[in-house]
Amino acid sequence: MIYVHQIAAVSPQRDLLVETIDEVNESVNNILKVVEPPYEGIPLSILRRMGKAVRMGVGAALPLIKNTTVPLNGIVIGTANGGMEDCIKFLNQVIEFEEGTLTPTNFVQSTPNAIAAQLSLLSSNKGYNITHVNRGLAFENALLDVWMLLKENPSHTYLLGGVEEISSYNYNIDHLANWFKDEEVSNKKLYHSTSKGTLSGEGAAMFIVNNDPQDAIAKIDALHLMHAEDVSEVKSQLIHFLNKHLGKGELVDVFLSGESGDIRFVSFFQNCEHHMKDSTIARFKHLTGDFATVSALSLNIACQVVNKNILPDHLIKINRHKHSVNTVLIYNLHKGVQHSFMLVRK
């Protein structure tokens, strides 16, 4: 069990829990790019070197670190690719200048651990510092790491986050690998699409977490991650997860599904939904697009939903109306094989 005390996100939406569909920012050429904040807390001398992933991650996290009254004991980040734009910029230099004299900034900024490292530098944090990069379960492993850390050090407080940037380069690579749609589809019509592929997105979500229930926004009660290619296996894992973590007669109020508009994986979501007969079924990828650590943004949404007790209509697929939302179960799937469940409570 982990208590969430502060949340922040840099996402394609001004606010991830945007109230009406009219206020939802629309995708352009199948990409949902983030709305970048002014980054007031970052010194210009440092901001000038940051790639987008580092900028988003630091931009979302720094205000939280500044607002935290208790000392932070460590920084735990999940990102599959980190600074992809810098990475390919450096690679382009390697090829174009034939391994001649190259500028190091892109290289230093491109390592995935640059986000957590820059945060430790800017906040003078000498505690635990790590970056998990296991593609679609990078953020889930960061969460699992924090869960273990809080059992090992019950009085500690950690910064947990997930970050991914979309650059034209990784868009090209993932598009060539058939992960994005070929025809243009608006995010507002994502779930009507019957073709392969999804929309591309990016974002950063940060959380201050510890074991203290007082004044918490939400609590993360359980997490399960798995590698599976078989629909029935995922369903049996879901049943096992619910039996293990729900009280007798307890129901999940909202099943927040990572449905992505990719026809190839619809059956995974349908099977899980069939099992969640008493829950309202909701979706979020029309707000974020899809990327390896999108589950970090879904966790931000779930925290807000239980905290504010609001579930905007445009998220709802099947409404089994409840007076209040106390429990949200997030199910995400990345590229057909990496699955996760996260149980969030008020």
Partner 1 sequence: MENEELKHKLKEQIIKYLNLLEKTPADIKDDQVLFGEELGLDSIDSVELIVLLEREYGIKIKDPKEGRKVLVDVNTMADYIKEHRTR
Partner 2 sequence: MSRIVVTGIGVITALGDSAAANRAALKDGQCGISFLELFPSRYSETLRFGEVKISNEQLKQKFDITDKGVTRTSLLAIHAFEEAIEDSGLTKEQLASYDTALIGANTVGGMCLTDELYHDANNDTEGSEYISSYDIGSVNLYMQKRYNIKGIGNTINTACSSSANAIMYGARLIQHGLAQRAIVGGADSLAKFTINGFNSLHILSPEICRPFDIDRQGLNLGEGAAFLVLEKEEEVISKKPYVVLSGYCNASDAFHPSSLSDEGDGPYLAMQGAVQFAGLNTSDIDFVNAHGTGTVNNDEVESKAMSRLFETVPAFSSTKSNTGHTLGASGAVEAVYSILSLKHQELYPSLQFETAIESTGLKPLQEYIQQPVQHVMSNSFGFGGNCSSLIFSRA
| Residues of this chain that bind partner 2 (CB under 8 A) | 75, 80-82, 87-88, 90-95, 98-104, 107-109, 111-114, 116-118, 120-121, 123-135, 137-138, 141, 144-145, 148, 151-152, 169-170, 172-173, 176-177, 225-228, 292, 337-338
Return all residues near 238 (Cβ < 8 A) that are at least 6 apart.
Answer: 272, 275, 331, 341
Q: In this structure, what token pair is assigned to residue 45?
A: 């001398």
In order, the DSSP letters of 294-324 are: HHHHHHHHHHHHHHHT---GGGEEE----S-
Question: Residue 111 binds which one of partner 2, partner 1, none, with CB within 5 to 8 A depending on kind?
Answer: partner 2
Minimum CB separation of residue 60 from partner 2 in Å reads 18
Nearest distance, CB of residue 300 and partner 2, angstroms? 22
Instruction: From 220, 286, 230, 228, select the one nearest 257 (Cα to Cα).
Output: 286
Q: Does 247 bind partner 1 (CB under 8 A)?
A: no
Q: Which of 20, 48, 69, 249 binds partner 1 (CB under 8 A)?
A: 48
Other C-beta atoms closer than 10 Å to the C-beta of 307 total: 17
CA distances from 127 to 112, 116, 124 (A): 18, 11, 9
CA quadruple 151, 330, 76, 47: dihedral sign: negative
* Least distance CB 301 / partner 2 (angstroms): 24
Q: Which is nearer to partner 1, 50 or 77 (CB)?
A: 50
Of residues 69 through 128, those in contact with partner 1 by CB under 8 A are 101-105, 108
Please identify which residue in 47, 173, 228, 316 interacts with partner 1, judged by CB under 8 A. 47
Minimum distance between the CB of residue 101 and partner 1, rounded to whole angstroms? Answer: 5
What are the φ/ψ torsions at residue 173 (nearest 5 degrees)? -65, -50
Q: Which option in partner 1, partner 2, none does residue 47 bind, with CB closer than 5 to 8 A by kind?
A: partner 1
Can you give the length of the chain in residues? 346
Residues that bind partner 1 (CB under 8 A): 43-45, 47-49, 101-105, 108
